Amino acid sequence: MDGFTRAPLADLRQRQAAFPPSRFSALRRALRVDPKAYAHSRNHLDGAVTALSPYVTHGLLPADELFDLWHRRMGLGLRDKLLAELAWREFFHHVWYHRGEAILQDLGPGLPGVRYQRALPDDLRQAATGVPVIDATVRRLYRTGWLHNHQRLWLASYVVHLRKVHWRVGADWMYGHLLDGDLASNHLSWQWVAGTFSHKPYLFNADNVARYAPGLDSRGTAIDRSYAELEAIARSGGDVGPEKHAPPPMAEPALYARPPGASELEGDPEALDAWTAVIHPWSLEGRVPGLRQVGLLHADFHRRFPWSARRWDFVLQRMRRICDAVYFGDLATLASSLAPPERLLAVATLNPGYREGLALSVRGCLAPPPTALPELDAPQPSYSRWLKRQRRHNPGLW
């Protein structure tokens, strides 16, 4: 059984002050959202976005609760931009539910004849491409672990279509540094940009940046072209390379397959023979009265998808607040040492390894992953088709 000590990481806590790992902070932020301001300015980097994604991803504010809060308390429907954006997340999870780990591979043919690199160029990793909007986006990703949706799309488009890096390479890299990294939302968005999960590649240019992020003017660089020119580049085999004049490179922060400073088991090592709630990184809502709660971190998943120190700190702070003990190792093995399977409770997740480990080890109550909208019985090939089916089954949400 593998474990870890309490690594304070105090320097990170100061830098992640915008996302304190508390449910109170999540609820306060959700209740302060102005739907009209969001709809009017959400595409601008300084717009009235919610920045709730880390809390939704990690279950401090589950998607179904957030949807219900905005729908019932604010009277919003899926016609409103606020809930429509949450619906995109639901669609990505719908695809994940039906396709499983297939979302980590090309879901469609993409652009014909284009050969993609299987490694990110150093200038991209080091925020030294010379394209101001790209370098600023990479620096912000490293500094905060959070990006505006436009920045995510712009960065993915530049990486795939101008630098000719395969979308999976870029998606894994971004996921590792995101505080709100969600395999479905992140990887399927990269596929949507690449054209393997859409009918055409997503492209942007300097005029688009000037409109929504005027402080990151990138005229005179590789993205300062017409959309026809950019599409021709996307369908060609050439990497445009970095600009002649680029800023000094910065070091990419490390990613960790286990909590930084891990060494010993944390918590009571004795088996818990009472009803026990198994808590994982995507079910951090809070305490259930009368239950022992044990945080379990599945080592194999984190070897495949390492996290930044900032994200480890966010998750561990929350786990230590709501759990009696926290363990790192093989999930099924850890769970079997806690209590009989029929006395374990947990919320299911679609994350690989965690999904299978919980299914094997929990027999008491394995609640389905929270969804804002009812899961459809048949997979839908596109967001528009999925939304049409939702409208048919749930007319009251409009």
Quick check: 110 and 224 in contact, CB under 8 A?
no
Proportion of the chain above pLDDT 70, given as a percent? 93
The pLDDT assigned to 273 comes to: 60
The pLDDT tens digits of the residues spanning 333-355 come to 888 888 888 999 999 999 999 99
Which contacts qualify for 363-366: CB closer than 8 Å, 24 or more apart? 364/275
Question: In this structure, which amino acid lies at residue 280?
Answer: H
362: three-class secondary structure by DSSP: coil
The pLDDT assigned to 338 comes to: 85
Enumerate the β-bridge partners of residue 325.
294
The pLDDT tens digits of the residues spanning 71-81 come to 998 999 999 99
Local confidence band at 274 (pLDDT 50, 70, 90 cut-offs): confident
The pLDDT tens digits of the residues spanning 375-396 come to 888 999 999 999 999 999 888 8
170 φ/ψ angles, rounded to the nearest 5 degrees? -65, -40
CA distances from 201 to 131, 162, 190, 312 (A): 20, 12, 10, 33
pTM for the structure as a whole: 0.93
Local confidence band at 269 (pLDDT 50, 70, 90 cut-offs): very low
The pLDDT assigned to 267 comes to: 53
Which one has a higher pLDDT value, 269 or 249? 249
The pLDDT assigned to 166 comes to: 98
The pLDDT tens digits of the residues spanning 90-123 come to 999 999 999 999 999 999 999 999 999 999 999 9
Fold of the domain spanning 256-367: Rossmann fold (3.40.50)
What stretch(es) of the chain map to CATH 1.10.579.10?
Answer: 122-253
The pLDDT assigned to 272 comes to: 56
d(CA 67, CA 83): 7
CA distances from 230 to 36, 43, 162, 233 (A): 34, 21, 8, 5
The pLDDT assigned to 263 comes to: 58
- CATH H-level superfamily of 122-253: DNA Cyclobutane Dipyrimidine Photolyase, subunit A, domain 3 (1.10.579.10)
What stretch(es) of the chain map to CATH 3.40.50?
Answer: 256-367
